[in-house]
């Protein structure tokens, strides 16, 4: 763009100089083309343009009342649905800072509903896609119920957590075709 602007400016200056000078014969168009080509060649870069590589910028950590913990050594418990069933119920106990984890497989386009209940009403959960790493519900979202249409066929990880203390919970997962 700079070269084009410079070329147009030079052309305008040349035209202005020709208009103010004494009348002279009209130059051959080929001479003007040769001069313009020489000017552009002089302005052309003598080295290849730089190559840019993207450097991923790490995102700042999100503030959360729950500490970030590695997954348990035993791995998440797989939720299996009985033949023909659309819901599965899991009960357990969670003690801060531990996070029991459950994994289930679901298809793109299915509707998932996850509900957690506890005596203290402080037990929460998160839902994350295993393949895409996308958090569909975060622990910071204190809702005890979550429903969405799943965007991918993949495993989904549910982590159960409590901000402090300990409590029993019931986790109900329903998956249907809408």
Residues 59-106: tens digit of each pLDDT: 555 555 555 555 555 799 999 888 999 999 999 999 999 999 999 999
Concatenated DSSP letters for 67-115? PP-PPPTT-PEEP-PPTT-SEEEEEEEEETT---EEEEEE-TT-EEEEE
Residue 150 φ/ψ, nearest 5 degrees: -75, 130
Residue that the structure tokens 């799943």 belong to? 150
Residues of the chain whose pLDDT is less than 70? Answer: 1-73
Q: How far is the C-alpha of 106 from the C-alpha of 9, rounded, in Å? A: 64
For the chain, domains (ranges, CATH) are 2-43 (no CATH), 77-176 (2.60.120.380)
């Amino acid at each position: 763009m700079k070269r084009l602007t410079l070329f147009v400016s030079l052309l305008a200056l040349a035209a202005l100089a020709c208009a103010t000078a004494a009348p002279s014969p009209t130059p051959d168009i080929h001479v003007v083309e040769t001069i313009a080509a020489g000017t552009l060649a002089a302005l052309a870069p003598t080295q290849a343009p730089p190559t840019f590589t993207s450097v991923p910028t790490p995102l700042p950590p999100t503030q959360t009342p729950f500490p970030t913990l590695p997954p348990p050594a035993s791995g998440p418990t797989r939720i299996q649905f009985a033949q023909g069933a659309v819901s599965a119920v899991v009960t357990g106990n969670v003690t801060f800072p531990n996070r029991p984890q459950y994994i289930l497989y679901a298809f793109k386009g299915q509707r998932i509903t996850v509900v957690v209940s506890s005596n203290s009403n402080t037990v929460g959960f998160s839902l994350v896609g295993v393949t895409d790493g996308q958090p569909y519900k975060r622990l910071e979202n204190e809702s005890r119920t979550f429903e969405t249409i799943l965007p991918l066929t993949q495993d989904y990880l549910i982590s159960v957590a409590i901000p402090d203390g300990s409590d029993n919970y019931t986790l109900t997962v329903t998956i249907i075709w809408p």
